[in-house]
Amino acid sequence: MITILADAQQKTINGPDYIKLSQDFLYAAKTGDSTAAFIDSLKSADQNGLALQLNNEYKKLAFWLNLYNGFTQVILKKDPDQYKTRGSFFSSKQINVAGHQLSLDLIEHGILRRSKVKWAEGFLGKFFPSGFEKQFRVEKLDYRIHFALNCGAKSCPPIAFYEPEQLDKQLNVAVKTYLKGEVIYNKVQNAVEVPALMGWFRHDFGGKKGMLEVLIKNKIIPEGIKPTIRFKKYDWSLYLNNYKSENNG
């Protein structure tokens, strides 16, 4: 009984289960149900209560990945014309979490990439990240997020519902699945074509050497080779509702 009361008190202090809320929000975005109640709950969230819940890397990653993918779908389904000016779409502060106005860029580059400058291939960090960003950002950048974020383009990886308990496995599957579908290895030319995003964020992957290690680890190219790396063009065509199928991984 004491344990039950303690759990109830903790829930009252910390607010709703924000991980589950992020998953339910993403599910509503997928099914076309109203997301208004979820958006209101995120807006009115207690910042410190949210921080207490997001108390490890996997919880942070699951929550913010779900929010990024969910808000991308919700915003673009409501107003697809925003995609015509993508720079503004990603940088505009259209998301409210715990009373703070956030952009998709802030979630991706500030929180999930640990305060990295957007257009610096992962080499530069921000000089003055906000207090909110510092409170919620990951401790260490995990390159696998790039295979989990869906920005609404046709070349984006499919969307999954991320859970802290399964996150490591889910991200590994996301990496392998996306690379299998995108990478082209030419044995004759000893060249490999990789997704454009690996070039945009090359330092996140550990440079070209790190990219090859990722490809070998996931059995995309054979071991013992050093192919030339070429970066594919990114298809920015608007492509919504790209969810990972249940039986795929």
- Mean pLDDT for the stretch of residues 162-178: 98
Q: What is the pLDDT of residue 6?
A: 40
* pLDDT higher than threshold 80 for residue 7: no
* pLDDT higher than threshold 50 for residue 10: no
- Mean pLDDT for the stretch of residues 31-57: 98
For 81-101, the pLDDT digits (tens) are: 999 999 999 999 999 999 999
Residue with tokens 């997928």: 30
**231 bridge partner residues:** 194
Which residues lie below 8 Å from residue 239, measured CB to CB, with a gap of 6+?
A: 152, 153, 154, 156
Q: Residue 249's pLDDT band (boundaries 50, 70, 90)?
A: very low
Q: What is the pLDDT of residue 11?
A: 47
Full-model pTM:
0.93
Q: What is the pLDDT of residue 246?
A: 61
* pLDDT higher than threshold 50 for residue 8: no
DSSP string, 178-244: HHHHH-EEETTTTEEEE-HHHHHTGGGGTHHHHHHHHHHHTTSS-TT--PEEEEPPP---B----BP
* pLDDT higher than threshold 70 for residue 185: yes
